[in-house]
Structure formats: C-alpha cells, structure tokens
Chains A and B, each alone.
Chain A
Amino acid sequence: MLYLIQKVIKIKFEKIRILETGNNMGPWNMAVDEFLLYNCKEPILRIYGWSKPCISIGYFQNIDEVDYKKCNDMNVDVVRRITGGGAVFHDMELTYSFVTKNFPPSIMESYKEISELIIQALKKLGLEAKFSPLNDVTVNGKKVCGNAQTRKNNTLLQHGTVLLEVDVEKMFSLLNVPIEKISDKEISDVRNRVAGISKTFDQVSDALKDSTIDVFGCELASFNLNQEELESCQKLVDEKFSRI
C-alpha cells in the first residue's frame, strides 16, 4: 500500500508543521491562508473550520455572484478567496490548506500529489476516494472535496474542503441566480454530483494527519501562530478580507 502511494508522490518532506486553528469567521480564515502563503519557511498543513456559514467566491468571480441581502439575513459571511474557481458554500465541512516551497512545477501534477493527502485520509475512513482532474476528489463518482491553489513568492498554497454534509437548497438560495432559473433538475443534478461523507470533523482531521505521515513519509510538528503573527492576520482581515 505504502509503495503504491509513493509511486504517486514525488515530493518528499522530513517534517510538516501542523496548524489547527479551529472554527473561525470567513475573513479570518482567508487572512490566515494568505499570511501562511507569504510567510512559509517550512511546509504547513492547516486544518480549520467555520464558526458560521460562509460563501467564498473565487479570485476571478464577479461580486454579483452572491445575494448579499440574503446572506446578511441568514447570517452568512461572504469573502473572496486568493484562489480561482467558483463560489463555495462553507458550512458542514473540514477545510485544509497545504503550504510549501517544494512542489511540482506542473499545476496538474501538484493538484494530484497534494490531493493524495485527502484520498488516503478518506481511505482510512473506509471510503474509496479517487482524484478527479483538475482539482476534485470523488467517492462513488460524487465530488466530496474541491480544491484550489495559488502560487506566490515561490510558494504554493492549496486549500480545499472536505464536505461532511451538504445542503444544496441553502447554497442555491444564497447565490445570485434568479430563482426561476434554478430548476428542480439543476438542484437535483448538483445533488447527484456532490455528496457529504457523513463523518465528523474530528474523524477527518485525525485521518488527514495520519495520511500526511503516510503520504509524505514525514513527522508532524504542531504549532500555533504567535501574537505578532495573529496581529498580521488581523491586519489582513481589516485591510483586505473584511470587504469583497
């Protein structure tokens, strides 16, 4: 089994630092990711969640993708990611970020290698997960994990969500698609293409840490952001991520 994993993985690490930041609001979560991207010295796996539901829109998306009034009424944060891709409704999920200066030049290859962490974690939980190019992980043909990455300052950041449960109707209600255009078929199509894995946050978190050791053959070292680093993240929230 380990031999098969190592055939997929070309990048190797001796040590990966683990940062578990718990549940936080959308702007804070994105600020920490950006901070890590620009201040990465050693590879980092960050595991986090959301203290209240949040929609993140992709780097290239128009702000009118989201129904702000409805988000406000339903106490849902809205934030812009530093990565491309579509609008993501963050609610019942585990989110991770992997940050490294050692990565394959090919975008496709790096998605595949880093997503192996998720695939092996899900396999530990008894799920037959597969990589689905460009950037998804599927179980039984349904997307359970979406990923996106950016490269800055010779550093790669890939973040992604592992869906624990999915509420398709709520997600659609917050996006700015005219309600008459959201047919039952469209909702049904999404429901057929996307699924939660019906595991707990802690189960996935533990499996992900174990799979990181297996996949990269490395040791893990936990750390927390110090006061100065937290202040830098707060500055990013105030100056960048608290507005779209």
Chain B
Amino acid sequence: MNSSHDEIITKITTAKLGKIVKIKLAYKQESQLIHSIRITGDFFVHPEETIEQLEQGLCGVKLEKEDLKNKIHWVLKNSEFFGFEIDSLVDVILDTKGDKNKI
C-alpha cells in the first residue's frame, strides 16, 4: 500500500505505573509506524526537555517492543527519571495501540 494511504489512527490511554503516565498516540495503521506521540503525567524526568526529545525521537519508530525499547533507552540514557520504568512505558505505548485502558 502506498504510504500516503496509510491511515493515521489516534488513541489515548492512561496507566498507573509508579506515577500516572498518559499516552496520546497517532500511528500509521498499515506500517505500524508512530506518527506522533505525547507523553504526559505526574512523573519526573531530569533534564525535563528529554521528554520532548523522546516524543520527537519516537516518531517513525515501529510499534514493536524491541524497537521502542531501544529508542527509549537511547534517548533516556543520560537522564534520570522517576515514576516509570522503560519496560512499563513500552508496554503502555503498545497498550495504547490496543484498546486496553488501565484506568
């Protein structure tokens, strides 16, 4: 299928990890690539700008566990974060693609 016909699906989920994490995910249905993602919640990340870098870095990444995990590890490697673990963040992103709402 031509990528211009790859429909973009938007979904939102909220999960209670160590802290609340909300994901707004837009992804391409056919290719399963992230079109855009917004990660919000009451967690802590130092430096704070890392989350914006993560949101930008995840664009174009395939919605598969290893791909997501590798990208998140790479972007967060020099930061400290509290309120979620990388594995649980990956699971929430994948859950967002499905229809599971944890809260």
Could you list which residues of chain A lie within 8 angstroms of chain B, going by C-beta atoms?
Answer: 58-62, 82-87, 107, 134-135, 148, 150-152
Contact = CB atoms under 8 A, between A and B. Distances in A.
Interface of B: 19-20, 22, 39-48, 51, 80, 82-83
Contacts of B43: 60, 84
A151 B42 contact: no
B79 to A, nearest CB: 10
Contacts of B80: 107
Contacts of B45: 60, 84
A76 B70 CA distance: 43
A150 B40 contact: no
Given A86-B19, A107-B80, A107-B82, A60 B46 contact: no
A62 B43 CA distance: 12
A87 B47 contact: no
Contacts of A135: 44
A134 B39 CA distance: 21
A62 B46 contact: no
A84 B43 CA distance: 6
B44 A148 contact: yes
Contact of A134 (B20, B44, B48, B51): B44
Contacts of A58: 42
B46 A61 contact: no
Contacts of A107: 44, 46, 80, 82
Give chain B's interface secondary structure class: strand
Contacts of A83: 44
Contacts of A152: 47
Given A60-B42, A84-B83, 10 more contacts: A58-B42, A59-B48, A60-B39, A61-B42, A62-B40, A84-B43, A85-B44, A107-B80, A134-B82, A135-B44
A186 B80 CA distance: 30
A64 B38 CA distance: 14
Given A86-B19, A86-B20, A107-B82, A61 B47 contact: no
26 contacts: A58-B42, A60-B39, A60-B41, A60-B42, A60-B43, A60-B48, A60-B51, A61-B40, A83-B44, A84-B43, A84-B45, A84-B83, A85-B42, A86-B19, A86-B42, A87-B42, A107-B44, A107-B46, A107-B80, A107-B82, A134-B44, A135-B44, A148-B44, A150-B48, A151-B47, A152-B47
